[in-house]
Amino acid sequence: MEVNLRYLRDYFAQTKLKKVLVWVLQIGLTIGLAALLSIMFCQTAVLQEGSMDPSFSAGDKFLVNRAVYRIASPKQGDVIAFRTSADEKASTHIKRVVAVPGDTVQIVDGNILINGETYVEQRDVPKIVNAGLAEDPITLASDEYFVLGDNRNSSVDSRFADVGNVKKDYIIGKLWFVISPMSKLGFV
C-alpha cells in the first residue's frame, strides 16, 4: 500500500512540474510574440502639425505598421509616416501618398495631375493655392513617392524642397490605428 501511495505522489509531482513548465513556456512564447509584434507593427507616431486637417488633427497619436512596406509598396491614398533623411533622429512627418514611382506629377490651376490626368480626391480637400515645385512636371524615380497633407494649403510636403519626393528607405510605415484621442480611437 505504501509503495502505491509513493508512486501516486511521485506521479502527481511530475504532472504538476510538467504543467508548470508548460505554463512557463506558454507565457514566454506569448511575451516573445508580443515583443515581435510590437517591434513590427506598433511604433507610435504623433501628428505634430495641422497639415492633415480635417482627416487628422495636431496631437493625434497613431500606431504605425512597419512591416507592411517590407512586403508591399505604398499605394496612392495610403497615409504614411516618414523621415526626410536617413538620420534616425530626423523628425517624423505624416502625409498622404498621392503619386507612386514612375508617375509624373504636376499641379495646374490648383488641380493635381498624375500622368496628365486629374487626380480624383477621395475626401473633401481644399484646392491648392501654391503648386511649389510641382508647378513643373515631376517624374518620380523608382524609389520615390509624392506626398501631400490633406490640409493642402497649410502643409509642407513634396511640393517644397524641405520635404521633396520621399524615398522609400525613409518611409517608416503605414498608419493603421488611431490610439489618441479616445474619441477618434479606431482604424485609419
Other beta carbons within 10 angstroms of residue 170's beta carbon come to 19
- What CATH code is assigned to 43-182? 2.10.109.10
Pairing type for strands 79-83 and 92-99 reads: antiparallel
d(CA 105, CA 134): 7
Q: In the chain, which ranges are E strands?
A: 43-46, 61-65, 79-83, 92-99, 104-108, 111-114, 117-118, 138-139, 144-148, 166-167, 171-180, 186-187
> For each of the chain's 188 residues, which pLDDT tens digit applies?
555 667 666 766 677 767 777 777 888 888 888 777 776 677 889 999 999 998 999 999 999 998 899 899 999 999 999 999 888 888 899 999 999 999 999 999 999 999 999 999 888 888 899 999 999 999 999 999 999 999 999 999 999 999 999 999 999 999 999 999 999 988 88
Dihedral, 59, 144, 117, 159 alpha carbons, nearest 10: 50
Residues 6+ apart with CB under 8 A from 61: 44, 45, 46, 47, 178, 179, 180
Statement: the pTM of the whole predicted model exceeds 0.85: no
Other beta carbons within 10 angstroms of residue 164's beta carbon come to 17
Is the separation of the CB atoms in 114 and 103 below 8 Å?
yes
d(CA 135, CA 108): 7
How distant is the alpha carbon of residue 7 from its chain centre? 59
